[in-house]
Structure 1
Amino acid sequence: MKKFGFATVAASALTAAFLGMAAPASAAPSGPGNAQDTISDLQAQGYTVIVNRIGNAPLESASVVAVRPGQSYSRTDHSRPGDDLSTTLLNKTVYVDVK
């Protein structure tokens, strides 16, 4: 029973550490560009992008106000009994505010 408790604590710690290392805010492209370029770049990096728009300008002429981290989903488990725990990132989300 102690092994199961330790494995649960270890899995929780690994997940927290893994999610803490994610830095989606720094994943935002820097320099000039339009909102569509930023969104495309983030999607190419594997992010699910949720766009919050202010106004109704096309994304090609809108600018990015902020890129904020969203929820990341991961799974920590053994691939086979007796293997070490491994964490797999399933999904990572960012919010892009455009104006």
Structure 2
Amino acid sequence: MKKFAFASALVGATAAAAIGLAGAAQAAPSGPGNAQQTISELQAQGYNVIVNRTGSAPLDQATVVAVRPGQTFSQTDHRNPGGDLQTTVTGKTVYVDVK
């Protein structure tokens, strides 16, 4: 029984990690462009963008090295008295590494 519980937990953790990484990859704009364009696109999608930069080049001349997911904040409320719960995302954060 313990082996089954461990296997179930492992599968669940792997699935959660895959879903989390897919969300971050989906959020990252693709194609050529400078760091400022990437940051602007992410902000337009509703993300709070935190920039980690190496070097002193202006963002419009810098390149994006990585886009990493940050914390997502949500709120769960009742839609109507005694009814279903509704979860609303109230904030999404993404980290953009540039050089």
- Equivalent residue, structure 2, for 1:89: 89
Q: Which runs of 5+ in 2 are unaligned?
A: 1-15
- 1:16-43 residue CA offsets vs partner (Å, 9 max, x unmatched): 8xx8597133211111100000000000
Relative to structure 1, the CA distance from residue 77 to residue 95 in structure 2 (aligned partners, 3 Å threshold; closer, same or farther) is same
For normalisation by structure 2, the TM-score amounts to 0.75
Partner Cα separation in structure 1 for residue 63 and residue 22 of structure 2 = 24
- The answer as to 2:72 corresponding to 1:72 is yes
- The answer as to 2:59 corresponding to 1:59 is yes
Partner Cα separation in structure 2 for residue 32 and residue 26 of structure 1 = 16
- Equivalent residue, structure 1, for 2:46: 46
- What is the aligned length? 82
The structure carrying a bigger helix percent of its residues is 2
For normalisation by structure 1, the TM-score amounts to 0.75
Question: CA RMSD, aligned part only?
Answer: 2.0
% identity of equivalent residues: 72
Partner Cα separation in structure 1 for residue 26 and residue 67 of structure 2 = 9
